[in-house]
Chain A
Amino acid sequence: MMTKDLDIPATQSTPAIRSEWARGRLYMDGNSYPENSFEFFTEVFDWIQAHLSTTDGPLHLELGLIYMNTSSVKAMMDIFDMLEEAWADTRDIAVNWYYDPRNERVMEMAEEFREDYTFPFHILPTPREAP
């Protein structure tokens, strides 16, 4: 079974979300501060759940998330909890979180997430654009 891939354009308060089912990639980029984050991320939960339960290939999250409100942080924790469970089940799981080194807050937030998980979690400063 193959679930339809996600291709959600960014809005002012929600990130762009794109997925590649066959490769096992999920991309999320931008700011995330919707009023009801749980509702917003439902599609993402469903896609990840479907991928984890119907395939056994890798699942890597490629994140360029910047500002997240607390309800988005909570939703992201739910996502990482799903990944942790799959990782414990010997699944190929990874999170790569890219950030602009000029804003250290993003790195701090990503590091605080990483503390609670054991799957490969890389926090990478994106190359600074040439001036």
Chain B
Amino acid sequence: MSEIDLFGLRRQFHHGQILLCFNGPISRGLIEEIGNALRNYLEADNTLPGAAMDVFAIYIELTQNIRHYVTRMGYDDRDGSATVVVARNDQGRHVIMSGNLTQPEDAVRLQQRVAELAAMDKTELKAAYKAQLRQPRTRSALSGAGLGLVDVARKSVEPLQAQVSVIPDDERVLFSLRAVV
């Protein structure tokens, strides 16, 4: 077992202005509890109600998307682990990042969808959102890149970013998303 550098880890949290970080299997209850903590931090930090709701909304959509994916794929706790980070940046905005294991083909598909959304302006994103809203429920659920992703893209003030990282000795990849509000 490797030695954990707690001091270094703490310094990195501090340096990255990380408000909240989670890594591990997520349950419905845990999403709600961490969400509560996030709300309390934002309130204590004097974030305006609208901005706090944007951060919370992105956190909920990203984590619930991961939960739905993990359930659909039948991943166990270890494979269904999620990494979630909420941090401040130097402009005083909030950066929300999430990552989870996916099949490589799903990651590629999601990355393409994120690129499409990132290229859209506000009006196009709104049209995409309303179109997605009218999709039959089953189709939307199966795509796995439905309404939640469009909603996050609409809220993000910077184009949504997606990254795919190869994991050694694993057929799956780590798919991660980054939004800023």
A and B pair up: yes
**Are the CB atoms of B57 and A69 closer together than 8 Å?**
yes
Q: How many Å lie between the Cα of A71 and that of B151 in the bound state?
A: 11
Query: Which residues of B10-55 are within 8 A (CB) of A?
Result: 28, 31-32, 36, 49-50, 53-54
Interface residues on A, range: 10 to 19
Q: Which residue of A lies closest to B36 (CB)?
A: A12
Q: Which residue of B lies closest to A67 (CB)?
A: B53
Partner of A77, one of B53, B54, B60, B133: B133
Mask, A60-104, CB within 8 Å of B = 1, is 000000010111011001000000000000000000000010111
**Are the CB atoms of A67 and B32 closer together than 8 Å?**
no
Residues of A with C-beta under 8 A to B137 = 38, 74
Q: How many Å lie between the Cα of A77 and that of B135 in the bound state?
A: 12
Interface of B is mostly: helix
Total number of B residues with any Cβ neighbor in A under 8 Å = 24
Q: How many A-B residue pairs have CB under 8 A?
A: 46
- A13 at the A/B interface (Cβ < 8 Å)? yes
Q: Which residue of B lies closest to A115 (CB)?
A: B130
* 25 A-B contact pairs sorted by A residue (CB < 8 Å): A12-B32, A13-B32, A33-B64, A35-B31, A35-B64, A35-B68, A67-B57, A69-B57, A69-B60, A69-B61, A69-B64, A69-B148, A70-B148, A71-B64, A71-B148, A74-B133, A74-B140, A74-B147, A100-B49, A103-B53, A105-B49, A105-B53, A105-B54, A112-B126, A116-B130
- B67 at the A/B interface (Cβ < 8 Å)? yes
Query: Which residues of A44-73 are within 8 A (CB) of B?
Result: 67, 69-71, 73
Task: List A residues at the B interface (Cβ < 8 Å).
Answer: 12-13, 33, 35, 38, 67, 69-71, 73-74, 77, 100, 102-105, 112, 116
Q: Which residue of A lies closest to B33 (CB)?
A: A12
Min Cβ gap A115→B in Å is: 9
**Are the CB atoms of B57 and A103 closer together than 8 Å?**
no
**Are the CB atoms of B133 and A105 closer together than 8 Å?**
no
